[in-house]
Amino acid sequence: MSTELTRKYLNELRSIIEIKDDAAALLMMEDLHPADIAEIYNDLSIEEATYLFLLLDPENASDVLVELEEYDRETFLKSLPSELIASQFIDNMESDDAADVIGDLAEEKKQEVLLHIDDVEQAGDIVDLLSYDEDTAGGLMAKELILVNENWGVATCIREMRKQAEDLDEIYFIYVVSDENLLLGILSLKALILASASTKVKDIYNAEIRSVRTDTDSEEVARIMEKYDLIVLPVTDSIGRLMGRITIDDVVDVIRDEAEKDYQMASGISADVETTDSPARLSRARLPWLIIGLLGGIIVAAVIGHFENDIKINPEMAFFIPLIAAMAGNVGIQSSAIIVQGIASNSLGLESTGRKLMKELLVALLNGIILSGILFLYNYFISKNLALTFTVSSSLFVVIIFAAMFGTLIPLLLNRVKIDPALATGPFITTMNDIMGLFIYFLMGRLLYGIFI
């Protein structure tokens, strides 16, 4: 919908809500996807959203609730009684979505909602999922799946699958397990249909299957599913028992969240924050790197102060301080961004650290020659000062080499010690390269001006 149409739609919807015309409100939402309804809810008050939510059938309402942003969902649920949350929403969700929703609630309300869930088995599944760290495969997985025993015959297999399928919206794979619930493989529908009724599952299943453990990091789960083009991935415990499965929609959320976190870290925000967070929390997240930037600025000022006499003797050098600092920061950011991207996509494994450094060195040499050459020509024809021309051009060349190497090494070192390398693309690289860039510039000036003057 266009912005104009959306505004018109919302105004009309609010008018209907105001007069409490249930039929008209349902008609307006009749053809909308749950994600579209959730987007509309972001522009409504809690009272307006609650009114519309209670009009929806339970299944549609639960789908909309899952699509809401975490903060909006948490705010909305605070206004509803625990019994209503359990009966209207949780009972109609898959276990992973239900765990996500309940996990956002305050501890007391969380317990109340769990107690009001009629299906004890579903409540137990949700409690199990809440025990896993949200950044692991266990925290991502859902309990609903189709599994068959290796010793079942095809007839038994089909009968049991019909019972299990009642709790599923989509059937991706049929998992084969042993008597001890150990994951053995998958059974294709084709093999099931073509087999005779007396055939045993163990004679027709495929043992080639990829899986992850419940404690596998969510980023690793996303990498595996992306690498092997999987739409679903089974999850086992430490001894291989089947615990659940992860679908591609859950992994897309992980990829998006990780991209947002890396972007924030690269921007100098040290914690995962939302625009809806309080000013105090936003300030705490931003302040650490701003303090580092401030300290870096003080050091830069100290470096300039240390070479104050050089500037007094050759004041024209001061004009190029911003240029040297800016180029050092830009080159460092570019190099670190490429490395961080390679680490995130796991593509650096094809190259050794030494080869990667050599490649970045060659790129830096090429860029340094071109950029310092342009600056040389500018100063040669504009300033007519040979000492300044050689000093600034030579300094820029050396600074570009150093910044590229520094920007390459720091993410690799951070990754080696298990620190998120996205930190290296933020103020840290910029500040360090500013300091070292200016230090190199003034040292080169002291050396080259002594040669030419």
What would the mean pLDDT of 51-68 be, rounded to a whole number?
Answer: 85
Looking at the DSSP bridge assignments, the partners of residue 142 are: 245
- Position 74 scores a pLDDT of 80
pLDDT at 3: 40
pLDDT in tens, 281-312: 767 767 777 777 788 788 888 888 888 887 88
Side-chain half-sphere CA neighbours of 109 within 13 A: 17
- The terminus-to-terminus CA distance of the chain in angstroms comes to 69
The alpha carbon of residue 253 and the mean position of all alpha carbons in its chain are separated, in whole angstroms, by 7
CB 134 within 8 A of CB 164: no
Give the DSSP letter string of 374-430.
Answer: HHHHHHHHHT--HHHHHHHHHHHHHHHHHHHHHHHHHHHHHHHTT--GGGGGSHHHH
Residue labelled with tokens 């939402």? 29
65: Cα within 13 Å, side-chain hemisphere: 31
pLDDT in tens, 220-270: 898 899 888 898 999 999 999 999 999 888 888 888 777 767 666 666 565
> Residues 400, 368: contact at Cβ < 8 Å?
yes
pLDDT of residue 2 exceeding 50:
no
Q: What pTM, to 2 d.p., does this model score?
A: 0.68
Least confident of 61-70, 93-102, 342-351: 342-351
Residues 400-430 have pLDDT tens digits of: 999 888 888 888 887 777 777 766 566 777 8
Backbone angles phi, psi at 94, to 5 degrees: -70, 155
Task: Please report the pLDDT score of residue 70 as a whole number.
Answer: 77
Distance CA 149, CA 434 (A): 64
pLDDT at residue 11 greater than cutoff 80: yes
Buried b (16+ CB within 10 A) or exposed e, 280-293: eebeebbeebeebb
C-beta of residue 390 within 8 angstroms of C-beta of residue 448: yes
All structural domains of the chain? 3-134 (1.25.60.10), 146-258 (3.10.580.10), 279-452 (1.10.357.20)
Is residue 197 a contact partner of residue 153, using CB atoms and an 8 Å limit? Answer: yes
pLDDT in tens, 15-51: 998 898 889 989 988 888 888 888 888 778 888 888 8
State how far the Cα of 205 lies from the Cα of 176, in Å rounded to an integer.
7
**Residue 185 dihedral angles phi and psi, to the nearest 5°:** 170, -160
Pairing of the two strands 212-213 and 174-177: unpaired
The mean predicted confidence, pLDDT, of the chain is: 83
Question: How far is the C-alpha of 164 from the C-alpha of 170, rounded, in Å?
Answer: 11
Residue 256 structure tokens: 């998006």
Could you identify the residue written with the tokens 């794979």?
Answer: 173
